[in-house]
Amino acid sequence: MNIEWVQKHCLALPHTTEQVQWEDHLLFKIGGKMYAVLPLSPGGNFLSLKADPEEFADLVEIPGVIPAPYLARAKWVALERSNTLPRHEIKRLLDRAYDTVLGKLPKKAQARLRGG
């Protein structure tokens, strides 16, 4: 499983932190709120991420993109395989997940993270 490019992309987004949680999942967070989850052991989905609420319904219509287990009601999707979507599209979705979660943080936290 090649997850290094996802990790590199997420860590390039400002103020992203990573944390191992639930024994074998790598979480990417902004302001303490997660926006993407990578399983570190094989057997599950390739990647779960927060979807733009307006894109959620369209995304889950794509073969290999499913509502994320336990997180679908919060508009999260899971990619079943690393080749479910082209890499550039996965990066766009990660950027959008980051922006969506950042935009939901309290204004004070947003200002602090944006340097204002």
pLDDT in tens, 80-102: 998 999 999 999 999 999 999 99
| CA 12 – CA 86 distance, rounded (Å) | 19
pLDDT in tens, 21-46: 888 899 999 999 999 999 988 777 89
Q: Specify whether the CB–CB gap between 51 and 76 falls below 8 A.
A: yes
Element (DSSP H or E) covering residue 77:
strand 76-79
Structural domain boundaries enclosing 89: 4-113
Provide the CATH number for the domain around residue 25: 3.90.1150.30
pLDDT at 114 over 80: no
Residue with tokens 């959620």: 56
Q: Of 11 and 110, which is predicted with more confidence?
A: 11
Q: What letter represents residue 64's amino acid?
A: G
pTM assigned to the model: 0.91
| CA 106 – CA 68 distance, rounded (Å) | 25
Domain total in the chain: 1
